[in-house]
Amino acid sequence: MLYFKEYSRFKEVNGVLFPHLINFVRPEEKQGFSIYFTHLELNKPLDKNRFSIKMLDSAKQIDLSLEH
């Protein structure tokens, strides 16, 4: 077994049951980590400016599209 994951501490958030604790374990490597949510908001509107990319004036933009 490479790894297993476990979801627990389900709580309702906006009408959806969501795990507030997620454990990942790699038994053969004796490794693991947990993600614990203390505050969770789902489907909240986001300001589009949070996703804007600001480029430095010194940056060179490269066209990676397949249409040349």
Q: What is the mean pLDDT of each run of 10 residues along the chain (68 residues)?
A: 92 92 93 94 86 88 80
Within a domain: 49:
no
Radius of gyration over alpha carbons of the chain, in Å?
20
The whole-number pLDDT of residue 8 equals: 97
List all residues 6 or more positions away from 32 whose beta carbon is below 8 Å from its beta carbon. 23, 24, 25, 26
Within a domain: 33:
yes
The residue type found at 63 is D
Q: How many CB atoms lie within 10 A of CB 27?
A: 11
Residue span of the structural domain in which 33 resides:
4-42
How many domains does the chain contain in total? 1
Within a domain: 27:
yes
